[in-house]
Chain A
Amino acid sequence: MSNLKFLLQKEFKQIFRNKSLLPLIFVMPIIQLLVMPLAADYEIKNINISIVDHDKSPYSRLLISKITSSGYFKLSDYGESFKAAYDQIEKDKSDLILEIPVDFEKNLVRENSETLFIAVNAINGTKANLGGAYLQQIIGEFNAEVLLQWISPTRYNPSPQIDVASSNWFNPTMNYRFFMVPGILVFLVTMVGAYMCSLNIVKEKEVGTIEQINVTPIKKHEFILGKLIPFWVIGIVVFSIGLFFVARLIYGIVPVGSILLLYGFLAIYLIALLGVGLLISTYSETQQQAMSVAFFVMMIFLLMSGLFTPIESMPTWAKTIAEFNPVTYFIEVMRMVILKGSGFMDVTKHFKIMAAFALFFNTWAILNYRKTS
């Protein structure tokens, strides 16, 4: 085992000497953790709206002021021609058109009903969906106000109505960052672990140092452990920086559940992930190859992990892929433990699956790693 000690010494010396790798490992995660949760926000503001007002009545003006004061919409264009508004959409200056017909006020007052027309630019699906929904909500509220104004309470027959009062659990203020930060922390640990590990091993191949190592009495498992342990440690350090400094101090996220449980899971997760890195390195001859393969694998891992889009809304085949993705489980555990305070009993299944991943990837990688080719 003394060989392992020397290998580790050498490895850490090299990592701490690498002027481009070190900032990449420690500074980049923090910056990303600061920037990404703020940017990756599903709450959509500043939707540009073009309003075509053929009526120009006090009512239509009231509706417009209600829309613009909601905070979601920015009036980019106000006019009388649908064509002009459509031009704005074509030029990408507005996302939505609301057309208010002639005699909007008159019909609303006399006939108690009127139809509005909404056209949505659906190129950005999320924005279009939410914009349309917000607008309908505002119009709904406007409708209710009008109703109250015009129908005198005496003539009003209370009809049975279900009123829904909702309360948000585990994240009462619906703070989007509480949901995103733990996920992004997983994303960072994943990047650092899998990328760095595979690149580092392939570098030895590319430079040829592996030849020199192979003619020494260093054993296969010693070499592999000498490569995995440093990145396991770095993964834990990066995670700790993210959890204690960035998440706690900046976003005020304090895990509700046990920190020990988080670290326990992280330890196994990193083993699985480093197995993936090792596996990639056994299939690549150059750092460029390893980089491309790692990028491809990481893209799939991250996009299919439920970090950005909920797995529940994926089609069945995609759900199956997500089930075979270790990142999915860590993100789930992170959110469960940090936000909900889940205990070990709640995540036993995740622990078992992750241990299986660790075993699977590492066995595959070691079988594929041949000291004598």
Chain B
Amino acid sequence: MISLENISISYNKGQIKAVDGVSLEIQKGELFGLIGPDGAGKTSIFRILTTLLLPDEGIATVDGWDVIKDFENIRKEVGYMPGKFSLYQDLSIEENLNFFATVFNTSVEENMDLIKEIYDQIAPFKTRRAGKLSGGMKQKLALCCALIHRPSVLFLDEPTTGVDTVSRKEFWEMLKRLKSQGITIMVSTPYMDEATLCERIALIQDGKIMTVNSPDKIIEEFPYPLFAIKSDHMIQLLTDLRENPSIKSCNSFGENHHIIFKNFDEDSTYQLLEKLKSKGHQGLVISKITPTIEDCFIALMDQNHG
């Protein structure tokens, strides 16, 4: 169980507020995602929870231990995989793993069952130095090292940043299996599409939590009907849509633009299409869609700024 109560931290003598009054509750055995863009404060929250950083205000506990008073107990209990690869580059896979096992007073053999599936994939290279591994292998090794002492809570800071799509998919499957072992997992990611893989997520922006819920609930709570629209001239379409007074917001998503109407009724789409046609747009297609987490994120962001 992890809990944060009104946690704040600022850098540069208060000039930059990295985390601003964050409160969160994460249940035991939960796979929890912290979703937000770069600089939202994700890493700061992780560093506070792993006792690497002292919060300016607020109380945070991990497994019931206070991050300030009981930091020694927390360090025994948690596994942490920082966003930047930070194992010994000049030690081999085996040596890194053994080293981190021994400092936790355990051995690789004792916990092999937990990491076997991941370790087997890098085992053929076990005498290779960590610095010479590929990105995906480094990430697997880092996960093994974070798990080697059978932590009750696992903190993964942007584990999939810079990793290819296939490895990312594999990685999330591994996380699900670890969750089934009863390990509480807190993971952060800037990729919105990974949000749906978590049980519950918190959307974070500028150090503030915008919402906390399950991904499905967050999508359900999306307050407006959402449409995807495309034409032959997407760039012109975006400007025209943004200039259109009946449109509340318009954002580019891959091959479509996602739009929300200001006052939606049955006529809205028809009127919009007519107007766009008169401006010379061809091949217009509009359809109602279910929002993605990214839509929700943008909508919440606009709300907060508006």
Q: Is the CB of B54 within 8 A of A372?
A: yes
Residues of B contacting A212 in the complex (Cβ-Cβ under 8 angstroms): 80, 82, 86-87, 100, 145
Residues of B contacting A18 in the complex (Cβ-Cβ under 8 angstroms): 90
- Interface stretch, picked from B101-109, B182-190, B256-264, is B101-109
0/1 string, A5-37, CB within 8 A of B gives 1: 011001001100110000000000000000000
Is A207 positioned at the interface, with any CB of B under 8 Å from its CB?
yes
Residues of A contacting B145 in the complex (Cβ-Cβ under 8 angstroms): 212
Query: Chain A binding site: helix, strand, loop or mixed by DSSP?
Result: helix
Residues of B contacting A2 in the complex (Cβ-Cβ under 8 angstroms): 102, 105
Is A373 positioned at the interface, with any CB of B under 8 Å from its CB?
yes
Taking the closest CB of chain A, its distance from the CB of B285, in whole angstroms, is 48
User: Which residue of chain A lies nearest to B84 when distances are taken between CB atoms in the complex?
Assistant: A208
Residue from A3, A14, A209, A216 with most neighbouring chain B CB atoms (10 Å): A216
- A interface bracket (residues with beta carbon within 8 Å of B): 20 to 34
Residues of A contacting B103 in the complex (Cβ-Cβ under 8 angstroms): 3, 6-7, 213, 216-218
Residues of B contacting A10 in the complex (Cβ-Cβ under 8 angstroms): 88, 91, 95, 99
Knowing A13-B91, A218-B103 are in contact, say whether A209-B86 is a contact too (CB < 8 A): yes
Residues of B contacting A213 in the complex (Cβ-Cβ under 8 angstroms): 103
A218 CA / B99 CA spacing, docked (Å): 12
Taking the closest CB of chain B, its distance from the CB of A222, in whole angstroms, is 9
0/1 string, B76-88, CB within 8 A of A gives 1: 1010101011111
Is B53 positioned at the interface, with any CB of A under 8 Å from its CB?
yes
0/1 string, A199-213, CB within 8 A of B gives 1: 000000001110111
Residues of B contacting A218 in the complex (Cβ-Cβ under 8 angstroms): 103
Taking the closest CB of chain A, its distance from the CB of B2, in whole angstroms, is 15
A216 CA / B79 CA spacing, docked (Å): 9
Q: Is the CB of A17 within 8 A of B90?
A: yes
Is A112 positioned at the interface, with any CB of B under 8 Å from its CB?
no
A214 CA / B102 CA spacing, docked (Å): 15
Taking the closest CB of chain B, its distance from the CB of A199, in whole angstroms, is 14
Taking the closest CB of chain A, its distance from the CB of B251, in whole angstroms, is 35
Is B281 positioned at the interface, with any CB of A under 8 Å from its CB?
no
Q: Which residues of chain B from 44 to 82 have a CB within 8 Å of any chain A CB?
A: 50-54, 71-72, 75-76, 78, 80, 82
Taking the closest CB of chain B, its distance from the CB of A372, in whole angstroms, is 6
Residues of A contacting B72 in the complex (Cβ-Cβ under 8 angstroms): 217
Is B6 positioned at the interface, with any CB of A under 8 Å from its CB?
no
Knowing A6-B103, A10-B99, A373-B53 are in contact, say whether A215-B75 is a contact too (CB < 8 A): yes
User: Which residue of chain B lies nearest to A17 when distances are taken between CB atoms in the complex?
Assistant: B90
A208 CA / B80 CA spacing, docked (Å): 13
A208 CA / B89 CA spacing, docked (Å): 11
A13 CA / B99 CA spacing, docked (Å): 11
Q: When the two chains form the complex, which single residue of B52, B88, B102 contacts A211, counting CB atoms closer than 8 Å?
A: B52
Residues of A contacting B95 in the complex (Cβ-Cβ under 8 angstroms): 10, 13
User: Which residue of chain B lies nearest to A10 when distances are taken between CB atoms in the complex?
Assistant: B99
Q: When the two chains form the complex, which single residue of A13, A14, A209, A214 contacts B52, counting CB atoms closer than 8 Å?
A: A214
Taking the closest CB of chain A, its distance from the CB of B180, in whole angstroms, is 24
A93 CA / B102 CA spacing, docked (Å): 68
Taking the closest CB of chain B, its distance from the CB of A224, in whole angstroms, is 15
Q: Is the CB of B102 within 8 A of A6?
A: yes
Taking the closest CB of chain A, its distance from the CB of B45, in whole angstroms, is 15
User: Which residue of chain B lies nearest to A9 when distances are taken between CB atoms in the complex?
Assistant: B99
Taking the closest CB of chain B, its distance from the CB of A10, in whole angstroms, is 5
Q: When the two chains form the complex, which single residue of B53, B78, B82, B100 contacts A208, counting CB atoms closer than 8 Å?
A: B82
Q: Is the CB of A215 within 8 A of B51?
A: yes
Taking the closest CB of chain B, its distance from the CB of A122, in whole angstroms, is 53
Q: Is the CB of B104 within 8 A of A14?
A: no
Residues of B contacting A3 in the complex (Cβ-Cβ under 8 angstroms): 102-103
Knowing A215-B75, A217-B75 are in contact, say whether A372-B51 is a contact too (CB < 8 A): yes
Q: Is the CB of A373 within 8 A of B86?
A: no
Taking the closest CB of chain B, its distance from the CB of A215, in whole angstroms, is 4
Taking the closest CB of chain A, its distance from the CB of B50, in whole angstroms, is 5
Residue from A2, A17, A207, A215 with most neighbouring chain B CB atoms (10 Å): A215
Taking the closest CB of chain A, its distance from the CB of B90, in whole angstroms, is 5
Residues of A contacting B85 in the complex (Cβ-Cβ under 8 angstroms): 208
Residues of B contacting A373 in the complex (Cβ-Cβ under 8 angstroms): 52-54
A17 CA / B89 CA spacing, docked (Å): 11
Taking the closest CB of chain B, its distance from the CB of A360, in whole angstroms, is 28
A212 CA / B103 CA spacing, docked (Å): 11
Knowing A2-B105, A10-B91, A10-B99 are in contact, say whether A211-B86 is a contact too (CB < 8 A): yes
Q: Is the CB of A216 within 8 A of B88?
A: no
Q: Which residues of chain B from 128 to 149 have a CB within 8 Å of any chain A CB?
A: 145
Taking the closest CB of chain A, its distance from the CB of B101, in whole angstroms, is 9
Taking the closest CB of chain A, its distance from the CB of B81, in whole angstroms, is 9
Q: When the two chains form the complex, which single residue of B50, B88, B105 contacts A215, counting CB atoms closer than 8 Å?
A: B50
A71 CA / B23 CA spacing, docked (Å): 86
- Some 6 contacts from A to B, beta carbons below 8 A apart, are A2-B105, A6-B102, A6-B103, A13-B95, A214-B75, A372-B54
6 other contacts beyond A3-B102, A211-B86, A212-B86, with CB at 8 A cut-off?
Answer: A10-B88, A10-B91, A14-B91, A208-B86, A212-B82, A217-B72
Q: Which residues of B contact A (CB under 8 A)?
A: 50-54, 71-72, 75-76, 78, 80, 82, 84-91, 95, 99-100, 102-105, 145
